Chain A
């Protein structure tokens, strides 16, 4: 389950953000909607444990993030979360397959090298970029990079997948395709899908949605 209650955060004491309470059951999909400056990315960072709130509580994958140490948060992110960033970034010196293996390598997963290879191959094939297995990120088109980052977010079978503005630069057809891909793949691993976006095309896609309001204090 993912839940937030009385969540507040401020940047160096100047800008204060208050977030609405919300809840999302395991395996469900949630939309975090808001225009620029409403704190979407900040909320995403809070839910991923990249920053800590000034007050309030958060539960992600059944864990109260406030109770976790920095080290535990690192491990938690690696094991339980998959994150698809707005711009796909990779470790440029590694191949696509190696980039996709990174989360399992960094968290010391139990998966064997062979299992990991099979899983990576399977994901890339499903996402239609199996032929890019041994390519380097710079050799991928923007669309292929986005698919590869989806594969990286799913490879370790996380409990929650966060997608930050996954459709901001896409036309309607591509938007539908990417969102469908995210939905199908998260369903396959039984993960919750949280999409953070300002894209109004997605507004009515899920019944669970949180609309973020402009900043409360500045």
Chain B
């Protein structure tokens, strides 16, 4: 029988008090840990998707909406822009390249995005099965789409108008799946990719056939272009060039920074609440150890008569506090995983984003060490009294 065994048994003998302290700490640690996990994964997702996209060209409106809609695909687009006007911007000497995006339809809430092969290339997406699309109405689907929708190479489907609604189905045009992408952990996983022509084809009107090639080209619209700059001057000159048009360019880095700042206030408040709960839990551990020591004064004195040194009793109480804080911390890390799992399901349902990485972060290891250490300190303070325990007096008073 070891001291740690006695400490465990002493904790188990007071289940309500032990549970209260552990749950309080678990809640505090869990909240901090959940925020760390969510923040890290959101940041990683945002950074991964923003990769090398310096500017986004789209219809005038909220710049943040433009970024959220076209980079992250979690908002409605601001509108459409003329293909001819967009190509002019893409030919600007300060611009190195551009990826056109045209969308407005969905299949089972997964966006059907018309683009070219440079879009999957940009995210390093590779074919898992089949091919990339090469003709109109051929699609290559992202890994998550394939997994969740059950689409396979050779499957056919109709698109529905809008980005989430499935009621207004374009049943005159059939899409055929020709390939499935490997998981890239980027926004591509959640998309159905096809050619821009397919998107135009779905929405083609009967009198389109009467138009000349020039007229048809002039009437073509896309949703946005993801731009990579050749020269930083692009950031300064493009907004001026577009002033008189219905287009705008937005800088993802700036918009996301602004978004983070807005979220930051809420996050800081939540973090403060979590730290307050943690502080309460340490106070609870302090009270628990203090209370135990008072209630078990005679037991402790008895142990001294059986050869226990003051150090032994001190270690015992310290172990009780340590086990309590370690237990609470481990429980907290589990709670944060459960929280993240729930959050991930909600985010995935709403935004088709995958936040399900439940691995332990380095910062969480520091959090666990810190919480256990402070828990030990909270136990160490009242345990000091055992060093001065008057055995004879305690035994006589009983």
> A103 and B395 in contact (CB under 8 A), knowing A92-B299, A93-B6?
no
Cβ contact within 8 Å between A98 and B392: no
Contacts of B306 in A (CB 8 A): 77-78, 83, 102-103, 106-107, 152
Cβ contact within 8 Å between B398 and A50: no
Measured in the bound complex, the distance between the Cα atoms of B398 and A87 in whole Å is: 9
Cβ contact within 8 Å between A50 and B309: no
Cβ contact within 8 Å between A106 and B395: no
Contacts of B6 in A (CB 8 A): 91, 93-94
Cβ contact within 8 Å between A101 and B391: no
Give the interface SS of chain A, mostly helix, strand, loop or mixed.
Answer: helix
Cβ contact within 8 Å between B392 and A45: yes
Interface residue A26 (Cβ < 8 Å from any Cβ of B) = no
Measured in the bound complex, the distance between the Cα atoms of B299 and A85 in whole Å is: 12
Instruction: Indicate which residue in B10, B307, B309, B312 contacts A103 across the interface (CB closer than 8 Å).
Output: B307
> A106 and B308 in contact (CB under 8 A), knowing A89-B302, A94-B6?
yes
Closest CB in chain B relative to A50 CB, distance in Å:
4
Cβ contact within 8 Å between A74 and B10: no
Closest CB in chain B relative to A102 CB, distance in Å:
5
Instruction: Indicate which residue in B12, B304, B395, B398 contacts A74 across the interface (CB closer than 8 Å).
Output: B304
Measured in the bound complex, the distance between the Cα atoms of B395 and A83 in whole Å is: 12
Measured in the bound complex, the distance between the Cα atoms of B1 and A107 in whole Å is: 12
Interface residues of A in 185-203 (CB under 8 A from B): none
Contacts of B2 in A (CB 8 A): 105
Measured in the bound complex, the distance between the Cα atoms of B302 and A81 in whole Å is: 13
Interface residues of B in 288-316 (CB under 8 A from A): 296, 298-299, 302-310, 312
Contacts of A102 in B (CB 8 A): 1, 303, 306
Closest CB in chain A relative to B100 CB, distance in Å:
71
Cβ contact within 8 Å between A107 and B307: yes
Cβ contact within 8 Å between B308 and A78: yes
Find the A residue at minimum CB distance from B11. Answer: A93
> A50 and B13 in contact (CB under 8 A), knowing A78-B306, A87-B398, A89-B299?
no
Cβ contact within 8 Å between A74 and B309: yes
Interface residues of B in 339-393 (CB under 8 A from A): 391-392
Cβ contact within 8 Å between B12 and A93: yes
Contacts of B1 in A (CB 8 A): 98, 101-102, 105
Cβ contact within 8 Å between A41 and B396: yes
Cβ contact within 8 Å between A93 and B10: yes
Contact with A along B95-110 (1 / 0, CB 8 A): 0000000000000000
Interface residues of A in 103-141 (CB under 8 A from B): 103, 105-107
Closest CB in chain A relative to B65 CB, distance in Å:
61
Greatest chain A CB density within 10 A among B13, B309, B398 is at B309
Contacts of A106 in B (CB 8 A): 303, 306-308, 312
Closest CB in chain B relative to A151 CB, distance in Å:
13
Interface residue B48 (Cβ < 8 Å from any Cβ of A) = no
Contacts of B13 in A (CB 8 A): 92-93
Find the B residue at minimum CB distance from A93. Answer: B13
The size bracket of the interface on B is: 20 to 34
Interface residues of A in 31-87 (CB under 8 A from B): 41-42, 45, 48, 50-51, 71, 74-75, 77-79, 81, 83, 85, 87
Cβ contact within 8 Å between B307 and A79: yes
Cβ contact within 8 Å between A75 and B392: no
Cβ contact within 8 Å between A93 and B308: no
Cβ contact within 8 Å between B9 and A93: yes
Contacts of A79 in B (CB 8 A): 307
Measured in the bound complex, the distance between the Cα atoms of B310 and A50 in whole Å is: 12
Closest CB in chain B relative to A118 CB, distance in Å:
15
Measured in the bound complex, the distance between the Cα atoms of B299 and A189 in whole Å is: 26
Closest CB in chain A relative to B19 CB, distance in Å:
15
Contacts of B398 in A (CB 8 A): 87, 89
Closest CB in chain B relative to A123 CB, distance in Å:
15
Find the B residue at minimum CB distance from A92. Answer: B13
Find the B residue at minimum CB distance from A79. Answer: B307
Greatest chain B CB density within 10 A among A77, A90, A91, A103 is at A91
Contacts of A92 in B (CB 8 A): 13, 299
Find the B residue at minimum CB distance from A72. Answer: B309
Contacts of B299 in A (CB 8 A): 89-92
Closest CB in chain A relative to B320 CB, distance in Å:
10
Measured in the bound complex, the distance between the Cα atoms of B302 and A103 in whole Å is: 10
Closest CB in chain B relative to A173 CB, distance in Å:
27
Closest CB in chain A relative to B137 CB, distance in Å:
73
Measured in the bound complex, the distance between the Cα atoms of B306 and A90 in whole Å is: 12
Contacts of A48 in B (CB 8 A): 305
Closest CB in chain B relative to A93 CB, distance in Å:
4
Cβ contact within 8 Å between B302 and A50: no
Can you offer 20 A-B residue contacts whose CB atoms are under 8 A? A45-B392, A45-B395, A48-B305, A50-B304, A50-B305, A51-B392, A74-B307, A75-B307, A77-B307, A78-B306, A81-B305, A83-B305, A91-B302, A93-B6, A93-B12, A94-B9, A101-B1, A103-B306, A106-B307, A107-B306
Q: A78-B306, A89-B398, A98-B1 are in contact. List 9 more A-B contacts (CB 8 A).
A: A48-B305, A74-B308, A85-B302, A91-B6, A93-B10, A105-B1, A106-B303, A107-B306, A107-B307
